[in-house]
Amino acid sequence: MCQYSAQDGFVGDWHLVHYGALAAGGAGAVLTEAIAVVPEGRISPGDIGIWKDEHVEHLARVVRFVKQQGAVAGTQLAHAGFKASTSRPWEGQGVHVGAEAGGWRPIYSSTNKGFTPESAQPEALTTEGIARVVKAFADGARRSLDAGFELVEIHGAHGYLVSQFLSPRINTRTDQYGGSFENRTRIVREIVEAIRKVWPERLPLWLRLSCSDWTEGGWTVEDSVALAKQVKPLGVDLMDCSSGGVVAGAKIPVGPGYQTQFAEQVRREAGILTGAVGMITSPEQAQHILNSGQADVVLLARELLRDPHWPLRAAHVLKQEIAWPKQYERAKW
């Protein structure tokens, strides 16, 4: 784990590398999770960043290590919007961090209302501000390429900035970025197009979505299908299908594979590759999702925190031969 100063925007205690993907055929990737494209877009003061060129070499060290282990390294480009400047989860979920504790203001959003009435209240982005955010995502993709990453994912889920624009429950704008479906999704299309100008066609671009707000009048899986149809021709290769986190207090029926239904529906109706994520814990469960065509990729996050050796265990359970780290090979037999 790498550690640098918060001023450098690269602090290795949160959101570095604990997000993995397993595709059919056994291909593996490791993503950074949320990596901020601007300093005020960090979820917490402890997040890593990719908003300046000085970050590249620090990240390249991580990439080189991941590649040495035989995996693909990717970044998850993000802007937290009104969920920015909050504490790290183990210090209080969603608690605003003020300037006296290393936090910041303003917190930009698609609206001037916070996640909850008790949250720090944001300032709605101007159209000029939106253009700067779009450019920041593209700059983050360029720096990702310079660092050697081979996969970029746009974080458009969980109540962070992009999903604040998508959700009709959150986006209250009356300009070209609010109101209709076409307007609310405009920022996604602009980010995708801007990234594809600097991100090579040969390398995959993913989009992470909250496919349902789990609340009446919110974003739906049908909306997700419609957006997938729009962004696929623009260069998005895979939809990472998550849900929730956008509307406070939404009742989410969490259970094993509870979001796989979204990956299956988007895959079938939009004709695009999808990733399934959420409460996927066993090798047999992951293999079933791939074998049954519910998704093309299975993504793991918390399960890898619980069991960093999950890929080795899964290979053993599924009787697949994979390379072990040389330091561990003596335990293989």
pLDDT above 70 for 21:
no
pLDDT value at residue 26? 53
The per-residue b/e assignment along 100-130, b for 16 or more CB within 10 angstroms, e otherwise, is eeebeeebbbbbebbbeeebbbbebbeeeeb
Q: What does the pLDDT look like over 4-17, one tens digit per residue?
A: 333 333 333 434 44
- Token couple for 288: 């079933």
CA distance 59 to 301: 20
pLDDT value at residue 27? 59
pLDDT value at residue 23? 61
Contact 107, 122 (CB under 8 A): yes
pLDDT above 90 for 227:
yes
Q: What does the pLDDT look like over 35-93, one tens digit per residue?
A: 999 999 999 999 999 999 999 999 999 999 999 888 899 999 999 999 999 998 888 87
Instruction: Catalogue all structural domains in the chain, each as residue range(s) with its CATH number.
Output: 6-331 (3.20.20.70)
Mean pLDDT value across residues 128-136:
98
pLDDT value at residue 120? 82
Say what percent of the chain tops pLDDT 90: 71
Mean pLDDT of the chain: 90
CA distance 240 to 157: 9
Q: pLDDT tier at 25 (50, 70, 90 boundaries)?
A: low
pLDDT value at residue 10? 37
Mean pLDDT value across residues 81-109:
87
Mean pLDDT value across residues 271-292:
96
Catalytic residues: 160
Lowest-pLDDT range, 30-44, 92-106, 238-252?
A: 92-106
pLDDT above 70 for 242:
yes
Q: CA 314 from chain center: how many Å?
A: 24
pLDDT value at residue 89? 83
- Token couple for 253: 């029926």
